[in-house]
């Protein structure tokens, strides 16, 4: 027995040594490039030397003598480094390819998750290391998040919404089918009245939602009534906002029409998605409360209107030009704006084309970049990303040239790192 005891003690000691050497030390990488953008000050810093350990940045531009001797050197040459980009309005598990109108009765959540795996990889490789995914069926987006976090597939960090919440027959419901087909309730986001709204919010959070998405008004890609009509009451939205807040979760409100936008702002949502019909009163209220606008404006140029069913095409032709004018007013007003695209309405991977729209409508290039970095991080309520700095996540991208001089440079990302792991080098 004493021999067995000694043998066991030796075995445990060996495991402890292995743990402290093989698994306790993270790889150190020194990333070099010609320059990097300080998104807070708007200054280009030359050169760029970033020290990364594991998935974190541990130093930026240290003195040469302070560089770790055993580090792996990654020299990117004539690239401009920026923080990983963030898109606050995506639908990775969805697209409008093929017979998307009837997809809900032909496919299930597994199909959506597999589609999401394809789109997640495309999104990451174009420089978006974090996304908010605002609605998917059957918690496909939550499953996608977990698969990415567990290293099973390639994709950005995700803040999924689970099912978007809306009224019976509204934009977040499935309409146009015979009675009994796709009849959903609070678990699937179709909730009427304060009690059902409360239950639906709790159910999404129970099953992994990191943001709650609501449909304050009607929408475009659905068959219900006028595109801007208010659907949720301010009382219903307030119940959702207050319950989500108790769980430390924010609410994003799909909203086109002015009455629904104003009610959502007064109910305390963190962001207005689309915000197509903004008024002076709404802009003042948003500014006073710090409410974000997530514009999703590139789709105005990108969406193939002729491919849409006639009722949906008519709604799009009416609301999209108005939305573009509202974006111009929002930029001029100085309200909070966070980058968002509605990727899925146009092909995934074209997200960065949203930057040029902002600049064309009056935003400076640095503010456009901030919308997808520090402002997006603020909307998410996180402080571990959005800038290149010590003790931040090693989420970095590289582009050729100076995006402050040519914002379309953001559409041609050459280098992508997420959590210290390189996912892309070159085209």
pLDDT at 69 over 90: no
pLDDT at 6 over 60: no
| 174 pLDDT tier (thresholds 50, 70, 90) | confident
> How many Cβ atoms from other residues are within 10 Å of residue 26's Cβ?
13
105 and 236 within one domain: yes
369 and 269 within one domain: yes
Range of the domain at 350: 85-380
128 and 29 within one domain: no
Residues 186 and 199 sit within 8 Å (Cβ to Cβ): yes
Q: What is the DSSP string of 344-404?
A: TSS-TT-GGGHHHHHHHTT--HHHHHHHTTHHHHHHHT--SSSS--TTSB--EEEESS-TT
pLDDT for res 40: 97
Query: For 123-132, 206-215, 315-324, 381-390, which range has the lowest pLDDT when averaged over its residues?
Result: 315-324
Backbone angles phi, psi at 337, to 5 degrees: -130, 130
175 and 118 within one domain: yes
89 and 79 within one domain: no
- Measured CA to CA, the distance from residue 372 to residue 363 in angstroms comes to 13
CATH number of the CATH domain containing 43: 2.30.40.10
- Measured CA to CA, the distance from residue 129 to residue 309 in angstroms comes to 34
Calculate what percentage of the chain has a pLDDT beyond 70: 93
For 53-68, write each residue's pLDDT tens digit. Answer: 999 999 999 998 889 9
Task: Give the global pTM.
Answer: 0.91
120 and 258 within one domain: yes
pLDDT for res 100: 64
| 211 pLDDT tier (thresholds 50, 70, 90) | very high
pLDDT for res 305: 87
Which is nearest to 87 in space by CA: 324, 310, 376?
376
| 1 pLDDT tier (thresholds 50, 70, 90) | very low
pLDDT for res 25: 52
pLDDT for res 236: 98
253 and 352 within one domain: yes
pLDDT for res 13: 42
pLDDT for res 178: 80
156 and 140 within one domain: yes
Looking at 345, 364, 380, the residue that finishes a domain is 380
Q: What is the mean pLDDT of residues 280-286?
A: 98
232 and 208 within one domain: yes
Query: Which structure tokens are listed for 399?
Result: 């582009």
Residues 361 and 324 sit within 8 Å (Cβ to Cβ): yes
For 345-391, write each residue's pLDDT tens digit. Answer: 999 999 999 999 999 999 999 999 999 999 999 999 999 999 999 99
For 101-143, write each residue's pLDDT tens digit. Answer: 767 767 889 999 999 999 999 999 999 999 999 999 999 999 9
For 248-273, write each residue's pLDDT tens digit. Answer: 999 999 999 999 999 999 999 999 99
Residues 212 and 254 sit within 8 Å (Cβ to Cβ): no
pLDDT at 427 over 80: no
pLDDT at 312 over 50: yes
pLDDT for res 102: 67
pLDDT for res 411: 98
CATH number of the CATH domain containing 247: 3.20.20.140
Count of domains observed in the chain: 2
Q: Are strands 48-53 and 28-33 parallel, antiparallel or unpaired?
A: antiparallel
161 and 75 within one domain: no
Q: Are strands 85-90 and 128-133 parallel, antiparallel or unpaired?
A: parallel
pLDDT at 84 over 70: yes
How high does pLDDT run on average in the chain? 92
Burial class (CB in 10 A: 0-12, 13-18, 19+), 242: middle
397 and 365 within one domain: no
pLDDT at 15 over 50: no
Helix, strand, coil content of the chain in percent (nearest 5): 40, 20, 40
311 and 167 within one domain: yes
């Amino acid at each position: 027995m004493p021999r067995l005891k000694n043998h066991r003690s030796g075995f445990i000691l060996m495991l402890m040594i292995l743990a402290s050497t093989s698994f306790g030390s993270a790889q150190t990488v020194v990333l070099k490039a010609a320059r990097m953008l300080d998104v807070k000050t708007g200054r280009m810093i030359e050169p760029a030397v970033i020290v990364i350990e594991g998935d974190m940045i541990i130093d930026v531009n240290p003195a040469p003598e302070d560089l770790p001797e055993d580090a792996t050197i990654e020299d990117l040459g004539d690239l401009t480094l920026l923080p990983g980009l963030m898109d606050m309005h995506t639908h990775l598990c969805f697209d409008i390819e093929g017979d998307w109108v009837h997809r809900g009765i032909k496919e299930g959540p597994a199909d959506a998750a597999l589609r999401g795996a394809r789109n997640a990889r495309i999104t990451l490789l174009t420089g978006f290391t974090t996304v908010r995914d605002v609605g998917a069926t059957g918690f496909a987006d939550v499953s996608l998040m977990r698969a990415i976090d567990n290293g099973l597939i390639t994709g950005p960090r995700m803040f999924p919404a689970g099912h978007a919440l809306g009224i019976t027959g509204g934009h977040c419901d499935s309409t146009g089918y015979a009675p009994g087909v796709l009849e959903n309730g609070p678990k699937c986001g179709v909730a009427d009245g304060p009690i059902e709204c409360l239950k639906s919010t709790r159910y999404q959070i129970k099953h992994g939602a990191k943001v709650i998405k609501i449909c304050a008004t009607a929408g475009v890609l659905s068959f219900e009534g006028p595109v801007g009509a208010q659907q949720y009451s301010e009382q219903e939205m307030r119940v959702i906002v207050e319950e989500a807040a108790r769980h430390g979760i924010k609410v994003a409100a799909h909203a086109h029409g002015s009455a629904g936008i104003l009610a959502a702002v007064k109910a305390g949502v963190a962001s207005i998605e689309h915000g197509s019909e903004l008024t002076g009163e709404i802009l003042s209220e948003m500014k006073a409360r710090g409410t974000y606008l997530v514009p999703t404006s590139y789709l105005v140029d990108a969406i193939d209107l002729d491919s849409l069913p006639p009722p949906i095409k008519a709604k799009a032709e009416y609301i999209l030009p108005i939305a573009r004018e509202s974006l111009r007013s929002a930029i001029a007003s100085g309200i909070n704006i966070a980058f968002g695209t509605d990727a899925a309405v146009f092909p995934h991977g074209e997200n960065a084309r949203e930057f040029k729209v902002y600049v064309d409508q009056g935003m400076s290039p640095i503010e456009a970049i901030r919308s997808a970095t520090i402002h997006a991080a603020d909307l998410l309520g996180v402080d571990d990303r959005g800038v290149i700095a010590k003790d931040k996540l090693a989420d970095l991208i590289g582009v050729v040239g100076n995006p402050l001089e040519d914002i379309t440079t953001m559409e041609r990302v050459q280098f992508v790192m997420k959590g210290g792991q390189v996912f892309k080098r070159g085209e």
